[in-house]
Structure 1
Amino acid sequence: MKNIYKILFVGLVAALLWSCEKNDDFATANNLTAPTLKASKDNVVLLQAQDAEEAVTFSYINATYSVNVVPTYELEFAVAGTNFKNSKSVGVDSNKKVFTVKDLNTLVSGIVPQEVATKCDVRLNSILGNNVVSSQPIAVTITTYKPNPDNVYPKIYVPGNYAGASGYTDWTPTNGGSPNLFSPKKNDVYYGFVFMNNAEPEFKFTYAEKGWDDNKGDTAKPNTFATLKANGENIQPTTGAGTYYIKVDWTGNTYSIKKMDMGIIGDATPQGWDSDVKLNFNKTTHKFEITMALEGGKPFKFRNDSSWGVKIQPTGKDDQELASGAEYATYVSSEGTVSDDASYKVATTGTYKIELDLHNSANYTIKVTKQ
């Protein structure tokens, strides 16, 4: 029995020693040379129209070690001069990394301003356990693009008899042919604003690019204004021409529709808080706009047809000052994206062109431009 215990003890010690030797590989693998890195370009301008094309290629010579080990490698990007604070990294597994325009734009958009040429530091990291050996950084200037949200979020079309008079084409479920409803949460629930310049509007819904092969209308005529079915009845609002807020649950086969003409109101406007000034729909730009006097330093916002039930405003609690000519995100209170009751302001009194772009519920924007 004693011999058996001795054999077991010797075996256990041997196993522990073998395990320690394996774990010590990283500790005893002394780095001999650092990796080196080169880029095919030192100035990269990214354009969304070229998403699938090659943007830049990074080639490198891997680090060497005193023993035969296999480290992992990553390319690390940061704004130049930040010592790689707030960096972004991507793993690599060969002697070069080819970035497409889309891949590079996605990687660095979180650390550099969009659409601004920004000098970046890029380095190759060789990682062995907790030990990291980096190449000397190289400088690459990168200009990213702002992805078109119309191509990012799922959408359905709203073809109808109103479209031609509203800057589109009647009964044409294609890009540019009909307005869209978008799904900001990508959950098959679509909603947004549609301007219908027809006293007796009619429309249906079609899914993505399938056109009439996948269309839905109301389950009944006269309409329920609530339920949908494939190849259903044309939807015919009884409230005439104007702006409609429509919400569609495509998989649940339900929808809602409400007329929602937006007006501007506030101390900054000539009417103050007493009455709204209705915005006009520009059939060319597909934006709601108005040119009017605004008083500097005083608040204004937008609301639904003289009702406070739906407002368009900043998302937070503080009033937001809008710089002339700059575009800002704006939010609809009824969509759950507004946390308080803030307003907008301009710094100086004058005449302003005000533009509300409400065509994409994932990207509502506002712009004021001093005339």
Structure 2
Amino acid sequence: MRLISKLTWVAFMLPLLWACGDLEQPPIIQQTPASISSPPSAIVLTGEDEEEVLVFNVTPADFGTGMEVTYVIQMDRPGNGFANAADLGSSTTTVIEVSAAEINRRAISRGIVAGETGPMEFRVRAVPSRTLSALEGLPVTIPVTTFADAVALRNLFLVGEATARGWDNNANNPPLFRDPENTDLYVYSGFFNAGGFKVLENLGAWQPQYGTNDGSTISANMGGGDDPDVFNVPAAGYYTFTFDLSTESFSLEPITDVPATFETVGIIGSATAEGWDASTAMNQLAFDKHIYYLTATLGDGEMKFRADNDWAVNWGTNSAISGKATQDGPNIPVEPGTYKIWFNSLDGRFIKIEQ
């Protein structure tokens, strides 16, 4: 009886299936990416105006339905397929302002020697407010002439519940320690709470802001766009956070061997208030007692860091503004000025930020 019932059901349904014929296919929504309107024949950067901006006009993208769209100007070296695309600026309008200094920095990090001319590819990435895929326009190649920018150094600061100052963006936030040779490379080794954090460029301002949207590459809001998601710390502990803007990459690696802290760390040397006779004590960060900071007016001369007012443990290097000092290393050269000085006894890294 069960077999007969099944055969009867099939015999009943077959005419209905034949009657339905082919199912209608949903209509295909045509989408059109944005493009740069009348791209310049060349971009010549001089560095004469620190506030100089370049204006890019773009055609609107069409996603087949109305929505807000954020337009992002991207740049990369030719032939790289935008695998290392730099987000230069963004806007929810079709007029996008981009800092000339930002183009200069990113072009140099992608192979154009400072003061020389080389080709760069530019395109527009249209990011919809709805859950649709972004559209990338066709690239255009533009010669870019760069300038040497040895003075303007970017300082970056930590913010977020995983860090010492929480989400307060102007509370003496610890900086990342900049590499003295690759000035797009930053390293911070220290304690993090579980949770999220971001990186800010200017204390007291939320943009430029850096984070990650995919968990593996750096995303940025240089101003006018959407803020990126946080860098995530899975559990409280000591980590080394490596942040490389030249490759738009980062890593967060646990530290398994954490050295002991010191009672005091200070600066000493001919450039300091006490000369070579005594240390000037630095403040110790309560959140992570490997981190020390001090605002000091320094003279022309040299300095070192040393622990517990004794020469048994001291750090030095020949880098003037930032670097990784080592035990019994050379004296640190100093130019006169007032600086916020940060030092990390965990790995010897330091940075001086002119005030």
TM-score (normalised: structure 2): 0.39
More helix by share: 1
Scaled by the length of structure 1, the TM-score of the pair is 0.37
